[in-house]
Amino acid sequence: MELLPQVILDGILIGGIYITIAIGFSLVFGVMHIIDFAVGEWIMLGAFLGYYLNGWTGLDPFALLPVVFVVFFGIGYLIQPAIQRVISGHRGNPLLMGLVFTFGIMLIIRGLGLTIFGFYSRSIPSKLAASSWLFEKGDFFLTVPFVRLAGLAFAVAITLVLHYMLKKTDFGTGVRALAQHKESAGLMGVDSHKTNCIIYGIYVGISAMTGVLVCTIFSMTPMEGGRYTVLAFFVVVLAGMGYLPGVPWAALFLGLIQSIFIVYLSASYTLLAVFVVLYIILLISPKGLFGRGW
């Protein structure tokens, strides 16, 4: 039990990374009803862009986040019309067509990543990675790595910014209207094409910034995108498909499960534990933890 406070803290810090992995994924599904299989690949590309920018400029990876966001926002903005064309051109099952199309994007990006970057893992050096805060009082102690704390702070900031955008701005009102009913939103003057492009650009930009964080805290190879796609899907399903407010809580819950299993059982059982928990929750509440999913 002496390790329990540290286990809980580590779970919360890991959950912070999972928030940024999944929140854009959930936003895109809620607005555009797209299950983007390429989310892990956007994370991977963002990690490698951050790695090379760090090598060229010498800047700390946290200082590079705005640059990475702008680059990948532009990429997402330009790609979204192609995805929308595929979806709108198939009236039978647009959700499936979106999944298949983004799966193809994932394969292309992964193949290019392996060709350009090779199989070796990279990590981005940061001054925060070498620092931590140690609190000790008797038998009670906590170690807080500054780089993971910064990752959690970033996740909270992203969550608050998205909440403000969706709830307090005219653009956010249009996004929520579009998510509820596309035709009605169009009648009220919402430009669905432009709105979808911006939302997808925001999602790709957030995913790419998450890649920089992951590459700073852990490491990244071109083959690891699939792992983060699975994690994003787990979090979004736990939260309820398209239910954005549930994502932070589901991510923290998943982080706690992972931390507990790593310390008290074995790291090899972590993925199995996540599958079992997800299965049980969906049996009890098919729409996620909060019963608010799509």
DSSP string, 251-291: HHHHHHHHHHHHHHT-GGGHHHHHHHHHHHHHHH-TTTTTT
Residue 89 counted as domain residue: yes
In the predicted structure, residue 1 carries a pLDDT above the cut 60: no
For the stretch 173-214, pLDDT in tens is: 888 888 887 777 777 777 888 889 999 999 999 999 999 999
In the predicted structure, residue 36 carries a pLDDT above the cut 70: yes
Lowest mean pLDDT among 18-27, 56-65, 83-92, 140-149: 83-92
Residue bearing the bigger pLDDT, 106 or 141: 106
Residue 50 counted as domain residue: yes
For the stretch 67-82, pLDDT in tens is: 999 999 999 999 998 8
In the predicted structure, residue 52 carries a pLDDT above the cut 60: yes
Mean pLDDT of the residues in the chain? 86
- Looking at residue 203, its pLDDT comes to 95
Could you list the residue range(s) of the whole structural domain that residue 112 is in? 4-224
169: DSSP letter: S
> Dihedral of the CA atoms 41, 157, 160, 4 (nearest 10)?
90
- Looking at residue 90, its pLDDT comes to 61
220: DSSP letter: B
100 falls in which pLDDT band (50, 70, 90)?
confident
Tokens linked to 181:
């009913």
| Half-sphere exposure of residue 110: CA atoms within 13 angstroms, side-chain side | 17
- Looking at residue 294, its pLDDT comes to 64
- Looking at residue 139, its pLDDT comes to 66
| Half-sphere exposure of residue 19: CA atoms within 13 angstroms, side-chain side | 25
Residue 262 counted as domain residue: no
Share of the chain above pLDDT 70, in %: 94
CA–CA gap between residue 81 and residue 98 (Å, rounded): 12
pTM over 0.75: yes
For the stretch 258-271, pLDDT in tens is: 888 877 776 677 77
Residue 72 counted as domain residue: yes
For the stretch 234-292, pLDDT in tens is: 898 888 887 888 899 999 988 888 888 877 776 677 777 777 887 888 788 877 777 77
Q: For residues 235 and 18, is the Cβ–Cβ distance under 8 A?
A: yes
CA–CA gap between residue 268 and residue 9 (Å, rounded): 21
In the predicted structure, residue 29 carries a pLDDT above the cut 80: yes
Residue 161 counted as domain residue: yes
Residue 70 counted as domain residue: yes
Residue 101 counted as domain residue: yes
- Looking at residue 19, its pLDDT comes to 93
Residue 35 counted as domain residue: yes
Total of domains in the chain:
1
